[in-house]
Amino acid sequence: LKTAGSLVEKRASGRGAATASMTSLGGIRRAFVLGVGFFADAYDIFIINLVRQMMIASDGPMNAWIAGAISTATILGAIAGQLVLGRVGDLTGRRKIMVFTSILTILGSGGSALAVSLGRLPKEFILIFWRFILGMGVGGEYPLSASLSSETSSSESRGRNTLAMFSMQGVGMLVCPIVVLIILSLGVSMQVAWRLSLAFGILPSILALYFRLRMEESEKFLRAVETSGLASHRWKLIGTAGSWFLIDVTFYANGLFQSTFTDLMGLSKGILNDAKVALIIALITLPGYLLSVFTIDRAGRRQLQVMGFVWISLLFLTAALAFEQLAKVKGLFVTVYAMSFFFTNFGPNATTFLIPSEIFPTKLRSTCHGISAATGKVGAFVGGIALRPVVNAFGVRVAFLICALTAALGSIWTLIFIPTYDSTYDEDVDPLLEDESERQGLQSNGAAYSTELSVLSKAATDEGVNEHSATL
């Protein structure tokens, strides 16, 4: 580690570079350039259910295994992208890999829209392949954009900037049904409709690629020094990965209850009505994203995550215990269902993305964020796929109860494994050491173990500390 004085100098210069970078990119453009992956993530994950229905309307019934593979290919690709590209991002830099993820997203979206049969290989298999490629690009966006946003923001704006970028996920959910409704209103065939719906995902990625090619590398990444190994941060990683897994189980399980929501809304089955329901749900979720952006610094990261998990647990428990009563009053069930989405986004869905971008050192930030996000996608698979047989066999009440217990575990998990910190914390300056003997060793050598810049500044000018600075 560097001396206390050099660490203070590094922090000050890093903040200056961050502020300059923020000013050059501009608020809205910055959120778009870094957040387009989350737009694509939400758009491409939620569009596929509607696309699958259009394919069935065009080509006839689809094999259940193939239908499941089309739905899960993007999730599996995202897991691979988060793990592999997250690690490469720490080794080679953020900018180059973000350009690469944009290219993968463009190729995946374009290939999906143009999927045709090749000899005896049906177009559904080609679509699965391109959906996996798309997933890799989307998955790589998570650790890279989170790291870059964290590293190019001042401590005062880091939380808001990162969550503003992440809120593009909500925009993607909103745009998805709107695009489908517009395309269907044009009167085109279902064959053309599903291809146009998939092709739309290319447009924001092309625009983002243009800006990313002109983007500079993170100054903080360029200045970062080697740090302790991954094992030194194991408990924090268990905390971020585990809590992300738990929230994604409940978040994606919510999609299983959409048919119940549709029935209570009095809507018949069909592509148009499913698109309308998706639009209603997207409008419900968006305020949660925005409220997280504006309150994250006042509410606190850890506190907001615990609060969200508790509310989600209570709402699902209410739905499980009083389902029959709620079903009799349409407005009550819709309110409970809507509030579960609201507290997911005004809570753990936002904080599980933000926290890994802040509590790990720069040289491990993308790697640890990628591991956490990939674990979350495993939770998405469990919630969206593995719980479906439970719903089919035992009904939605049992699934509601499982989600309630999962969210309750999430609040406990957060309290145990997620450290308490605020927006001024910088892992590179003041590591949260997990080895107590290492911490005691540093303290015995006169290290000022503090997260406050003022303490480090004082330590840098204190001659007594300077005598031991080399050991720090």
What are the tens digits of pLDDT across the range 158-190?
A: 899 999 999 988 999 999 999 999 999 999 999
Is residue 114 predicted with pLDDT exceeding 80? yes
Highest average pLDDT, of 378-382, 393-397, 403-407, 450-454, comes from: 403-407
CA nearest neighbour of 265 among 319, 183, 337: 337
Reported as a pLDDT band with limits 50, 70 and 90, residue 264 is: low
Instruction: Tell me how many degrees the CA angle 449-368-203 measures, rounded to the nearest 5.
Output: 130
Q: DSSP letter string over 118-159?
A: BTTB-HHHHHHHHHHHHHHHHHHHHHHHHHHHHHTS-TTTHH
Instruction: Report the largest interatomic distance among the alpha carbons of the chain, rounded to a whole angstrom.
Output: 79
Mean pLDDT of 382-411: 88
Decide if pLDDT at 204 tops 90: no
More confident residue, 151 or 326: 151
pLDDT at site 42 = 81
Q: What is the mean pLDDT of residues 98-115?
A: 94
Q: What is the mean pLDDT of the chain?
A: 82
Domain range list for the chain: 27-216+230-432
Half-sphere exposure (Cβ direction) of 230: Cα atoms closer than 13 Å: 13
Give the global pTM.
0.83
Average pLDDT over residues 38-45: 81
| Chain mean position to CA 424 | 22
Per-residue pLDDT at 392: 81
For 158, 240, 369, the CA distances from 355, given in Å and listed in that order, are 11, 7, 9
Domain 27-216+230-432 part of CATH 1.20.1250.20: yes
C-alpha 170/C-alpha 168 separation (Å) is: 5
**Cα(14)–Cα(259) distance, integer angstroms:** 50
